[in-house]
Amino acid sequence: MEWGLVILWLAAFQLLTLLGAPLAAWLLPHFPDRGLTVALPLSLVIFTLLAFWIGQITFSNMALGGGLLGLGLVIAVAVRRGQRPMLDWRSYIESLLVFTVAFSFLIAIRAVDPAVTPQGGEAFLDFGILQSLLRSEQLPPEDMWFAGEPIQYYYGGHLITALLSRLTGTPGRYSYNLALAGFYAMLVTSAYGVARAIADTRGVPPRTAGVFAAFFVGFASNLYTPVGLLLRLLPDTPSDRLIDFFGVDPNIVPTLYPFDIGPPTRVIGDTINEFPLYGFVHGDLHAYLTSTPFLVLTVALLLAYYQTPVSARQRRWLLLGSTVPVIGVTMLIDTWSFPTACGLVFVTLLFAPAHPFTLLPQRIRTATKATDANGGITRPLISAGNKFALGAIVTSAIGLSSLASVLPFVIQTASSRPIGFLPERSLIGEFLLVQGAFLLIFALYFLPRVRPFLDPEGTRRLLVLFALLMGVGWFANVGVLVLVGPLLAIAALLQWETDNVDYEGVLFVAGAGLILLVEFVYLQDGAGPGRINTVFKTYFQTWILWSLAAGVILSGFIPPSLVHRRSWEGVPLRGKLAPVAVVGLLLTLSLYGGLALGTHFTRDSPPARTDDPTLDALAFVETQHPEEADAITWIDQREGQPTIVDAPGLERYRWENAPSSLTGVPTVAGWAHQIGYRDPEAYVVRIVEVRLMYTAEPAVQARLLEKYDVEYIYVGPEERERYDVVEFERRPGISTAYEDDHVTIYKVDRESLVDGE
């Protein structure tokens, strides 16, 4: 086990946290910890954004140093503007404790299964991008599966990992798992801090809210596993009826051991319904996971805007100055998060106590006589319809500015993927398995709050909203709207009556909007049939938003005397039952994690390393693919990014294109993922031409090797099985560079190829 690297990376993360602390304290002065729990992702935003822009010229030590220098300058400005001590050491120790526990937890998980195997995940893609970045001299990195072309995938999370690798001098084979643990710890820590900040203004136990939110983002699962286990205990007749209602396949009702972690993430038909614990245990350094701490950081900044008085000039900085680079970097990490972040901005503007008009300079507000001296709205037109319109305008401005902050990436990856409409709907039973726990929590939150407003007028408004939503849900056959609609109607009524919905309610509305959106539209992105990828990405982001809100709401059911004095004294029976119910719910949502980790730490099938833990992502190659291990190591030792050719990965999630995926050295045609990223015909042409490179006569072969600037020809077991490989050593300009019993690698001298043609 590489304990030295673990300590080194933990120290690096804490150094970046301390560097970001002054800026976080300046932006989030009213948070209980003054923003310490989000200081690390805030530092990484500045560091990464500056390195990204410098990397367009040179992705070398200059990009690394420039990013650090720019971060230092920003922090210096924050220190100069700050009027209070920048660091509360007690809060820092608390933040460090949460981060270290989460980091160590995932290190333990990855250490017994560190391999970047291709089966059933995106590890080959993620590791290949990381290795390509570590070899790159300029951004964007060359696509390791489409030699000669820049990558067409969002690579911000891999960029952060590459920067941390260079900062610590860590090879990619180790930094892959170390970075994954860092992203997990950032998510848990930031969720803890943001939920605590929301609860602090609500009069509920802040630390309890933080712990609950950290649980939801770090360990909780959906209801598939507990319901499946319940079905095993029930008699056949009621069990069969419940199976029909929930849509659970009776053949995959979970067994206790060995426990299959996959079925609970494939509940709603033809979709993916993952939650954070599954992704981190599975071990993909994928965009939907690495973007999560930055989505929580966006929530933190918008929460601060939501809470900041109208008179504070800092509101403009929070909304216009700080969210723009954060959303930009979030898009660089995971483009799917961009519309979510923009939607969250809009919902925050719509529900915030302060009108968006108050963001305009004071002289404009004074000239129009639209606000009073305290920033209150005095003109009805501005108070009503214009809040929606102006919120949309401000959101659009923030969105466009965020795009501009990563403009080279936007230009490089621009595509015209079509929008699909009216896909297959989610069945109510399936949806309840995925989101039922959250809906129960939000129902317990909203129903008591609407009672004071159920006078005749309020009741009429609520019934009209109910009828409208129910009607749309019925006629459009959208069962989800029937479940989510009433809670949305209550949120709308509360905003109507009070013009002040607590921020956990705002997070519910934002997540509900995402869930309802994918019942009507989806992106035809080539990643799978129908809306499979759209539901995957939007539901996952909803999980993050709703986890923060759920942590705050559940903490409200814990009596203060129990939290502060650990005493039931003075607590009525109803107050005593509520904590018991909360604990029961948390235990129910922990069943998946307990069973999954029980299997994870005890299995002995390859590539598990329960008896010899390591963070080496490539250790499995020597034990599972020894026939190619030495050849791949030889390729990895080549400097720069010489182009190789090997057999294209026509069947995804198999041991194909390992030489490029595990080294970052680009191949002419890699996995069939390319069909979803670029013109499918271009990929097909390359497949045909790769075959000709292995089988054609010398003239055709020479022309194609020259066309793609191929320097090495890889001939291993897959190439010999697929092609009738010619005798390369007899071809002009081709010589043997590496050879063992299973693999031969040929060196191409392109000048001699031309002579020999």
Strand, helix or coil for residue 531: coil
Structure tokens at 363: 């002289």
**To which H or E segment does residue 627 belong?**
helix 626-636
Of 375-379, 471-475, 672-676, the poorest mean pLDDT is in: 375-379
Asked which of 414, 440, 474 is the last residue of a domain, the reply is 414
| Strands across the sheet containing 744-748 | 643-645, 710-715, 744-748, 734-739
Residue 380: pLDDT band (50, 70, 90) is very low
Amino acid at 530: G
Asked which of 556, 573, 594 is the last residue of a domain, the reply is 556
Q: How far apart are the C-alpha atoms of 99 and 731, rounded to whole Å?
A: 58
Strand, helix or coil for residue 430: helix
Mean pLDDT of 324-336: 95
Q: Kindly report the number of other CB atoms within 10 A of residue 733's CB atom.
A: 22
- Burial of 707-718, coded b for 16+ CB within 10 Å and e otherwise, reads ebebbbbbbbeb
Q: Is residue 566 part of a domain?
A: no
* pLDDT value at residue 757: 42
Query: CA nearest 94: which of 178, 177, 17?
Result: 17
Q: Is the domain of 308 the same as that of 198?
A: no
* pLDDT value at residue 416: 65
User: What CATH number does the domain containing 672 carry?
Assistant: 3.40.50
Between β-strands 643-645 and 710-715, what pairing exists: parallel, antiparallel or unpaired?
Answer: parallel
Kindly write down the DSSP assignment for every residue of 238-287, as one continuous string: HHHHHHHHHT--GGGSPPSSSPPSSGGG--STTS----HHHHHHHT---H
Which residues have CB under 8 Å from 639's CB, separation 6+? none
Residue 468: pLDDT band (50, 70, 90) is confident
Mind listing the pLDDT tens digit for each residue in 610-626?
778 999 999 999 999 99
Mind listing the pLDDT tens digit for each residue in 96-114?
999 999 999 999 999 999 9
Structure tokens at 404: 């501009």
Query: CA nearest 300: which of 259, 338, 341?
Result: 341
Q: Is the domain of 620 the same as that of 635?
A: no
**Please, are residues 213 and 544 in contact by the beta-carbon 8 Å criterion?**
no
Between β-strands 744-748 and 419-421, what pairing exists: parallel, antiparallel or unpaired?
Answer: unpaired
Q: Is residue 567 part of a domain?
A: no
- Confidence check: pLDDT of 236 > 70: no
Q: Kindly report the number of other CB atoms within 10 A of residue 476's CB atom.
A: 13
Q: How far apart are the C-alpha atoms of 131 and 480, rounded to whole Å?
A: 42
- Burial of 169-185, coded b for 16+ CB within 10 Å and e otherwise, reads ebebbbbbbbbbbbbbb
Structure tokens at 476: 């459009």
Q: Is the domain of 43 the same as that of 5?
A: yes
The H-assigned helical ranges of 384-427 are 385-405, 407-413
Q: How far apart are the C-alpha atoms of 755 and 734, rounded to whole Å?
A: 12
Q: Is the domain of 409 the same as that of 442?
A: no
- Confidence check: pLDDT of 752 > 70: yes
Q: What is the mean pLDDT of the chain?
A: 87
- Confidence check: pLDDT of 456 > 90: no
Q: Is the domain of 449 the same as that of 399?
A: no
Which residues have CB under 8 Å from 602's CB, separation 6+? 610
Asked which of 624, 656, 671 is the last residue of a domain, the reply is 624
- Confidence check: pLDDT of 314 > 80: no
Structure tokens at 701: 């072969």
**Please, are residues 173 and 617 in contact by the beta-carbon 8 Å criterion?**
yes
Amino acid at 95: S
* pLDDT value at residue 602: 86
Q: How far apart are the C-alpha atoms of 464 and 476, rounded to whole Å?
A: 18
Of 150-154, 383-387, 448-452, 744-748, the poorest mean pLDDT is in: 383-387
Q: Is residue 603 part of a domain?
A: no
Residue 381: pLDDT band (50, 70, 90) is very low
CA distances from residue 103 to 99, 108, 171 in whole angstroms, order as listed: 6, 9, 19
Mind listing the pLDDT tens digit for each residue in 648-691?
999 888 999 999 999 999 999 999 988 888 888 999 999 999 99
**Please, are residues 593 and 277 in contact by the beta-carbon 8 Å criterion?**
yes
* pLDDT value at residue 319: 78
499: phi > 0 → left, psi -120 to 50 → alpha, else beta; which?
Answer: left
Q: How far apart are the C-alpha atoms of 173 and 87, rounded to whole Å?
A: 35
Q: Is the domain of 59 the same as that of 169?
A: yes
Half-sphere exposure of residue 597, counting CA atoms within 13 Å on the CB side?
16
Amino acid at 609: R
The radius of gyration of the chain from alpha carbons, rounded to an integer in Å, stands at: 27
Mind listing the pLDDT tens digit for each residue in 679-721?
889 999 999 999 999 999 998 999 999 999 999 999 999 999 9
**To which H or E segment does residue 704 belong?**
helix 698-707
* pLDDT value at residue 645: 97
Q: Is the domain of 21 the same as that of 90?
A: yes
Q: Is the domain of 9 the same as that of 57?
A: yes
Amino acid at 580: V
Measured in residues, the chain has a length of 757
* pLDDT value at residue 463: 75
Q: How many helices (H) and strands (E) does the chain have?
A: 36, 6
- Confidence check: pLDDT of 138 > 50: yes
Structure tokens at 428: 């109510």
Q: Is the domain of 184 the same as that of 316?
A: no
Structure tokens at 104: 């160590």
Q: Is residue 185 part of a domain?
A: yes
* pLDDT value at residue 249: 61
Q: Is residue 246 part of a domain?
A: no
Q: How far apart are the C-alpha atoms of 669 and 644, rounded to whole Å?
A: 10
The H-assigned helical ranges of 31-60 are 39-55
Kindly write down the DSSP assignment for every residue of 191-228, as one continuous string: HHHHHHHHHHTTTS-HHHHHHHHHHHHHT---SHHHHH
Q: Kindly report the number of other CB atoms within 10 A of residue 263's CB atom.
A: 17
Kindly write down the DSSP assignment for every residue of 91-137, as one continuous string: HHHHHHHHHHHHHHHHHHHHHTS-----TTSSHHHHHHHHHHHHH-S
Q: Is the domain of 456 the same as that of 504?
A: yes
Residue 574: pLDDT band (50, 70, 90) is low
Q: Kindly report the number of other CB atoms within 10 A of residue 361's CB atom.
A: 9
Total structural domains within the chain: 4
Q: Is the domain of 99 the same as that of 112?
A: yes
Structure tokens at 349: 């503007």
Q: How far apart are the C-alpha atoms of 580 and 587, rounded to whole Å?
A: 11
- Domain enclosing residue 167, as ranges: 1-135+155-222+611-624
Name beta bridge partners: 710: 643
Q: Is the domain of 346 the same as that of 379?
A: yes
Which residues have CB under 8 Å from 488's CB, separation 6+? 469, 509, 512
